Structure 1
Amino acid sequence: MDIETLHHISLRVSDLARSMRFYAEVIGLEQIERPPFSFPGAWFRLGNRELHLIGDAAANPNRPRAVDAGDTHFAIRVASFTAAIEGLRRLGYREDVAPDDPHCMLLRPNSIVGYPQAYILDPDGHLIEINAARLDD
C-alpha cells in the first residue's frame, strides 16, 4: 500500500445541527458540498483535508465526556496558538473548570512533545487537540 496522506476524518454525532454550529463557530471550519447520501451529515474543510459529520441520534450514548489528553482524538494545527486560545476563551472555554465541564480546556503550552497543545471536547465528547508549531507571544 502506497499511502499518500490522510484524506478525511468521520465522526458520528447525535445532533447534526448542534455539531455543525460547533465546527463552524467554535473551530472555524468552512462547510463544503456533500454528496446526497441517504443518511444525514455535513462535510467541512479541515485545512487541506476534510471532516465528515454523520448524523445519528444514537451516536456515542455512553461516551465519556471529560477532557483527557490520553483519549482517542484528532489534532488540528493552527498558525497561532495564542490567537486560537484567546478565541476559545472568548467563547467561554476555561482551564479552571472540571474536566467534564463542556467548556473545559486543557492547556499544555510547554508540552513534552515540543509544541504547545490544548484540548477541548465537541458536543458529543469527541476530543480535539489544537496545536501549533511553536508557542507564540
Structure 2
Amino acid sequence: MEKIKALFDLMELITKDTSLAVEIQLAENQPLDYLNQFDGTLQERGIDRPIPELPWLALVDGLARRNLLVELDWKEDPEELIAVCQRLTENHSESTEIKTTLTSLEPLTGDDIEEFLPVLNRYINKHGIQLV
C-alpha cells in the first residue's frame, strides 16, 4: 500500500471515485487480474504482462475512462489544448466563465505549445483548475 500511496494522493486531488482506487489496488496487488480486466486498453499500449508501472497506468487509464484526463502529444497545437480544456471543464461550476476565459486566449494560440502552457495554466488557475 505504501508503494502506491502517492498515486492515491494524486487520484484524490482529481476525483473521489473509489472505484478508481480499487483498480489501482488491483493493478498493484493482483496484476494478472488487472491485465485480464483491462486487456484491450493495455494491448493498445503493448502491455501483455505485469510491469512495475502498472498501478500508474491504472490511474492514467482509469482517469481517461472517466473523462477526467486526456493524453496529448507534446506537439499539439494550442487550439487543441483549448478545445480539450473546454471539454474537461464542461461540468465545472464555473464552466461558462472558463469557456469565456479560454476563448479570450485564442489570439495567443500562435505561440509555441511550451510557451502557451504556462499562460493557459495562469488563466485557468483563477478558476481553481491546474494543468497536470
TM-score, with structure 1 as normaliser: 0.27
Larger proportion of strand: 1
Larger of the two Rg values belongs to structure: 2
Larger proportion of helix: 2
Q: Which has the higher contact order (CA 8 A, sep 6+)?
A: 1
